[in-house]
A = this chain, B = another copy of it.
Amino acid sequence: MKYDRQDVIEKATNLFWEKGFHATSMRNLQEVIDMRPGSIYACFGCKDGLFKETLRYYADKGRSNLQTCVETTATPLDALKLFIHNAVLGNPDAPNSMCMLVKSISELTENDNPELLDESKQLLRGIENAFTDLLTQAVERGELDASKDPRRLARFLQMQLMGLRAYAQANKGTVSVEEMLDDMFSCLH
């Protein structure tokens, strides 16, 4: 009976997301995804390979979340607001309020894990590009002042999203993230 690859990757993603790359041992993974080492290595090559796959899965889920936001809101800006709101407060039982890609960039080094680090950076850039597209639409529709630069705005939004998720992690349960979201969007205009 072959393993359900999707299911395995999702479980691995949650574990890596929670504990980080270095603190997650192959034995931890073996328990969580219920596979023996031989099978894991036959499927994914090595720990790095499995981790890279989880990074892509995580980023894909992010992109599809954003797409859902676009489809369920009236304007590009509303879609962005909803996406960011969901990213920080959306599912309370997420392994971590921090972005998994940011966590990875935080713990990986150019010397020790250049491939995984570059992959994380690239995936993060992909999400920022999706922000840029939406902000461009917002300007075209007149939802945003035409003087605004969508790329610069996307960069700023990405930075604040990274910050807010990290801040929420650092102050779990003691702070009103809603209030901070208001502050964040009120300085878009």
A183 touches B20 (CB 8 A): no
Rounded to whole angstroms, the CA-CA distance of A121 and B168 in the bound complex is 11
**Are the C-beta atoms of B180 and A106 separated by less than 8 Å?**
no
Q: How many copies does the complex hold?
A: 2
A65, B48: Cα distance in complex, Å? 39
CA distance A20 to B105 in the complex (A): 11
Tell me, in angstroms, the Cα distance from A120 to B160 when the chains sit together.
21
- Judged by a CB distance under 8 angstroms, whether A175 is at the interface is yes
The answer on a CB contact under 8 Å between B152 and A183 is yes
State which size class the interface on A falls in. 35 or more
- With beta carbons under 8 angstroms apart, the residue of B105, B156, B167 that contacts A159 is B167
Closest 9 CB pairs of A and B: A163-B163, A187-B187, A22-B22, A159-B167, A159-B163, A162-B163, A106-B106, A162-B166, A20-B107
- Besides the known contacts A103-B106, A159-B167, A162-B170, 19 further A-B residue pairs in the complex with CB atoms under 8 A apart: A23-B107, A23-B109, A98-B106, A103-B107, A105-B169, A106-B107, A106-B166, A107-B107, A121-B170, A152-B183, A155-B180, A156-B180, A158-B167, A159-B164, A159-B180, A160-B160, A160-B163, A162-B162, A162-B167
